[in-house]
Chains A and B, each alone.
Chain A
Amino acid sequence: MRFVDEFRDADKALALSAKISELCEPGRHYKFMEVCGGHTHTIYKHGLEDYLPDSVQLVHGPGCPVCVIPMGRVDDAIAIAEEPDVIMTSFGDMMRVPGGRGSFFDSNAAGADIRMVYSPLDALKIAQANPAKRVVFMAIGFETTAPSTAMTVLRAEAMGLENFSLFCNHVTIIPAIKAILDSPDLRLDGFVGPGHVSTVIGCRPYEFIARDHGKPLVCAGFEPLDILQSVYMLMLQLHEGRSEVENQYSRVVPWDGNPKALEVIARTMQLRPYFEWRGLGFISHSALQMRPEYARFDAERIFDVPGVRVADPKACQCGEVLKGVLKPWECKVFGTACTPETPIGTCMVSSEGACAAYYNFGRFSRERVKSATRTVDIELSPAPS
């Protein structure tokens, strides 16, 4: 696969790993936060940590848009789905997220009609095909996905669709990063910056992090070499005493972002005064809602949503894991009460959450596993003739 395989090359990884080690000052420990859920997923899926020296640690931030949706909002979505003649549509990774009473899967079992879609445009197709039904799309995601939702609303408007609306749960990345930076118990040396969010917002919005907080930030791609190279670039900045925003993912991310994408978001959506982020609490101006002119596509205006907050159990320590203060296995309920099947909090809820990624992919004693896999001598079968 082009633009993918080249960035998964093991030999280049060894080279980068050596260069990163060279830049490590003896006795110093480095902590970088990677914000995107997609980065967390890549790191664990490819076993990237095997290439980092012990003194360099990657800490997982709150960039998983599925994870930060509070249980009460899931309950709201289910309440909409349970209204008569409603077809709810959602991305696959939302289907398993439990609200106060259960997940979308559980709701289907109890008689609701909640369908998995790959794109919000698929929800439009369902609306067209089912004129007697009210089709609602559960819109989630950071600025990466908001433009797609916005384009879908504009298309629905152009088509004159009367039975389509969306339940808007889009969140914005900068307030989340600010919440991390303002956290007193945190010590970070820099950020592996968002990749796909940056294709929309560009790299400028992160400048305050480097300038005012003195933390370098490198916008990173999602292949393992992208992340490894970004860590190298961060180490180089620290070594050279610089604090800047750099763009490692320049093949995809334009420095100024995507003006059309920003324009369609602005046309259809506006910032909410505040929004609750699971694990982080209420953050002001951190989420989007439909503009009044688009009220007829706003499920929150069309349907009565209960709006009840459901608190995470007191034992949940996601807030600290999200800020990188605790490692997943350091949480008291990790692996016992809190597992991917019974996710107590946000970090376990989606496969991109730090705890879920660690549980699903990284849950092993590194030394034992390294010895098991290194001495495996699998002669790659010669290609079939």
Chain B
Amino acid sequence: MCLGIPGEVIEILTDRPDLAKVDVCGVKRNINIGLLEGEELNAGDWVLIHVGFAMSKIDEREAASALEFLEGIGQAYAEELAALADSEAHRG
């Protein structure tokens, strides 16, 4: 029920400006973008889809920084593991 899925905006429908065609992994559906009134929405933007409505425009900068944090942690962890393996090797 909380089901929200990210999808990419393909086109805003000219005859129905409250609808946009959105693509999720090759599956396309018309989504109501009325809840994003006031926000600029263009083809190539990503939105969060829930029961046929776009709830929020995905902030790519925030997404990138979230991933950066995760990459950073992953990197630090990998380095720690490598350091541990190294020290084990030296001990042995």
Contacts and interface: CB of A to CB of B under 8 A. Distances in A.
Chains A and B directly touch (beta carbon < 8 Å): yes
Contact of B62 (A7, A36, A39, A250): A250
Contacts of B35: 147-148, 151, 258, 260-261, 264
B46 A250 contact: no
A148 B53 contact: yes
Contact of A148 (B38, B50, B59, B63): B50
Contacts of A304: none
Interface in A83-125: 91, 93, 118-122
A65 B58 contact: no
Contacts of A229: 66, 69-70
Contact of B73 (A4, A12, A140, A252): A12
Interface stretch (A192-200, A308-316, A354-362, A370-378): A192-200
A25 to B, nearest CB: 21
Interface in B62-88: 62-63, 65-67, 69-71, 73-74, 76-78, 80
B62 A2 contact: no
Q: Bin the interface of chain B by size.
A: 35 or more
B56 A2 contact: no
B3 interface: yes
Given A38-B1, A251-B62, A260 B38 contact: yes
Interface in B29-52: 32, 34-38, 46, 48, 50-52
A147 to B, nearest CB: 6
B53 to A, nearest CB: 5
A53 interface: no
A144 B55 contact: yes
Contacts of B53: 119, 147-148, 151
A162 interface: no
Contact of B56 (A37, A118, A151, A252): A252
A19 interface: yes
B42 to A, nearest CB: 17
A12 B2 contact: no
Contact of A1 (B2, B24, B70): B24
Contacts of A251: 58-60, 62-63, 66
B25 to A, nearest CB: 5
A78 interface: no
Contacts of A253: 56
A269 B6 CA distance: 28
Interface string A337-360: 000000000000010100000000
Contacts of B25: 1
Nearest to A261: B35
Nearest to B46: A3
Contacts of B36: 260
B58 A145 contact: no
B8 to A, nearest CB: 7
A322 interface: no
A174 to B, nearest CB: 16
Contact of B2 (A7, A9, A37, A148): A37
Given A19-B77, A119-B52, A260-B35, 9 more contacts: A14-B77, A16-B70, A66-B1, A148-B35, A148-B51, A148-B53, A222-B4, A251-B60, A258-B55
Interface of B: 1-6, 8, 24-25, 32, 34-38, 46, 48, 50-53, 55-56, 58-60, 62-63, 65-67, 69-71, 73-74, 76-78, 80
**What are the 9 A-B residue pairs with the smallest beta carbon separation, nearest first?**
A119-B52, A38-B2, A15-B77, A251-B63, A3-B6, A251-B62, A250-B62, A12-B74, A199-B56
19 contacts: A2-B6, A7-B70, A9-B70, A12-B71, A15-B76, A18-B80, A65-B1, A91-B51, A119-B51, A120-B52, A121-B52, A148-B32, A151-B32, A195-B2, A197-B2, A225-B70, A252-B56, A260-B38, A352-B2
